[in-house]
Structure 1
Amino acid sequence: MSVIAQSKSRWFSESRPLDSIILSDPCILADQQTRTYYMTGTGGQLWKSKDLKRWAGPYQVIQTDSSSWMGKNPMVWAAELHQYKGKYYYFATFTNKNIKIDSVRGNVIERRACHVLVSDKAEGPYLPMKDKTYLPANMPTLDGTFWVDEDQQPYMVFCHEWLQNWNGTVEKIRLKPDLSGTLGNAKLLFKASDSPGSRERTSKGDTTFNKVTDGPWLFKTQTGKLGMLWTSWIFNLYTQGVAYSQSGTLDGPWVQEKEPITPPNFGHGMLFKTFDGKLLMSVHSHKKIDGRTIRIPHLFEVDDSGDKLVFLKQYFKP
């Protein structure tokens, strides 16, 4: 096992404005114990802030088991921080580019899977648990998130990547009580094609549904309505969608909102409350500059007082 104590990266800054951080899939944990905001995302690094405006980081905070399927230097995508029963958990997608699991329509699919690490502190370090595999080795899975359902059992909700099934899915699988592994088989919640809004063009120029499912995040409104943020595309526009469960549980059925909740080119959203009680959505913007894709975190105020989440405004202008 590679052992890395919390350390500063060579790009470390003590006070970096949020809009100067290039980061995909930003996830923010407001830790009451330390009165500190912790932000992570793709890349597997950590940022800290007291006011959400200025951030210290990045810190290196995760450890992986080099003897596992991940190998020595796995890619890290869409990391999330969750506090549960006195521990802190690091949900992330790991990719080993040296292992090929499938080839579909000319695309070689690498070993990619959701996994969970654990720590006693929000700032880490986050360590592997006993199970080295959470999901089947022959499935490319990504963007795992955490939810305790009405049965009081913990679950991982994740995406089965569209590159293999050609119609991305959102699924659930039960976790062990200490989140150290999974129990049973995954269950389908919905498919990319269920979205009424996402669109793409075929090679013949016809319009069809977009195949991508990305970034699920569960929430409940103040009236008790269970919802899920998730992201796809409307042609070339990154799109933050929302779905609501008719049963109030993960089993749904899930009804998709017809319109995106944010303006165009924002996505991979998650929700958290500030220390003064404001509900915020953290997303990243998505655009290309000189052929390079740039993703920057943004914060928006939202309202969950009714049966549906309502977008309000930008939280602040850095």
Structure 2
Amino acid sequence: MKKILFVLTLAVFNLMLVHAQNSEPALRVDIPIDSIRLSDPFILADKITSTYYMTGTGGRLWKSKDLRKWTGPYKIAQTDPQSWMGSNPMIWAAEIHYYKGKYYYFATFTNKAIRVGDNLERRASHVLVSDKPDGPYVPMKDSVYLPADKLTLDATLWTDTDGKSYMIYCHEWLQNDNGTVEKIELKPDLSGTIGGGKILFLASDSPWSREKEKDGKDRPNKVTDGPWLFRTQTGKLGMLWTSWIYDVYTQGVAYSQSGTLDGPWIQEKEPVNGSNFGHGMLFRTFDGKLLMSIHSHKSINNRTVRIPHLFEVDDSGDKIVVGKAFN
């Protein structure tokens, strides 16, 4: 029953996203970050243009020179209507990565008209490319990065110690009943993938997430969400990721024992920041300060409201420490 209710809630949320993404909102100027409604906020600090670019779920872009006042939203993704995505795909958890002279748009695309598996909407991680940080972002050579029958989401980019670049993504818990974080090698120009995916860890590896079994017993939550890779100043490889503690959206962190993507990944016993925050990422400001971009997750008048927030982070040791809010 809990899974059915979750799917119904997700369907309503999807309908709202479709309406929002198909409409053209008016451009807004000098908007404080806490006045923006945005899930999965990702910020690129682009030194070439001396501008911060924020994107996330919805496929829109915001721009800022100081992280305090933002202008947007701009539409920047141009997908191929003849592809599996269809004419109006939903876009989740978009990220912008500068790599070897170009900008790459990693995002989750959903086509509600195509069903896979147990009557689930086709959803997959994919990559677009642009010569500019504010797009437009367009398709590359490969039309598919991951198997068509596999629900994947929240892809990010990481170059490992072997010099190869990888897509890190989640396999949806709705399909496998125990979400995963996985890696797959990318082609040198990021235009497609090489070989198959490899599981890095399972949702059930979490010591802090919780949900109830049908018999009322506790178990680790099934959800894996929002992976983000980083290295501390001591060289320790870590990964932020998000799940739930019952109905509370919560972010944890794991560290690789080997210092590579292959792990093994050792999960921290406690979440890395406060309750009702998740899907975080790290970036360094133009003056060298390390910040976490993350969204709050709250129910207000029976509506889920997600707002971007920035927190200072200390990465001087083997483990990150999340500090005060950035003002």
Q: TM-score range by the shorter chain?
A: over 0.9
Looking at structure 1, the residues matched to 25 and 208 of structure 2 have their Cα atoms a distance apart, in angstroms, of 42
1:302 is aligned to 313
Aligned residue among 143, 154, 164 for 2:175? 164
- Aligned match for 2:51, one of 33, 36, 56: 36
Gaps of at least 5 residues in structure 2 are 1-22
Q: TM-score, normalised by structure 1?
A: 0.95
Secondary structure at 1:19 match in 2? helix
Residue identity in the other structure for 1:277: G
Q: Which amino acid aligns with 2:292?
A: M
Q: CA offset at residue 63 of structure 1? A: 0.4
Bigger mean CA deviation after superposition, 203-212 or 254-263? 203-212
Read off the aligned partner of 1:49 and give its amino acid letter: S
Alpha carbons 1:9, 1:58 under 8 Å: kept = no
Cα contact 1:9–1:57 (8 A) shared by 2: no
- 1:96: which partner in 2? 111
Deviation string, structure 1 residues 184-215 (Cα, Å, up to 9, x no partner):
00000000000000001123322111000000
Asked if residue 23 in structure 1 is aligned to residue 38 in structure 2, the reply is yes
Of 149, 153, 161, which aligns to 1:142? 153
1:210 is aligned to 221
Q: Does 1:83 pair with 2:98?
A: yes
Contact 1:46/1:59, CA 8 A, preserved across alignment: yes
Which of 193, 212, 217 lines up with 1:201 in the alignment?
212
Contact kept? 1:199, 1:208, Cα under 8 Å: yes
Residue 140 of structure 2 corresponds to residue 129 of structure 1: yes
How big is the shift at 1:11?
2.7
Deviation at 1:9, TM superposition (A): 4.1
**Higher strand proportion:** 1
| 1:256 maps onto 2:256 in alignment | no
State whether structure 2 residue 72 is matched by structure 1 residue 61: no
| Deviation (angstroms), 1:23 | 0.2
Residue 10, structure 1, aligned to residue 21, structure 2? no
Greater helix share, structure number: 2
Gaps of at least 5 residues in structure 1 are 1-7
- Summarize deviations over 1:109-165 as a string: whole Å, max 9, x none: 111000000011111111110111000001000000000000000100000000000
Partner of 1:311: 322
- Matched residues in 2 for 1:120 and 1:147: separation? 20
Q: Give the CA deviation at 1:236.
A: 1.2
Alpha-carbon distance in structure 2 between the residues aligned to 1:291 and 1:175: 41
SS at 1:272's partner residue? strand
Aligned to 2:256: 245
1:25 is paired with a residue of what secondary structure? Answer: coil
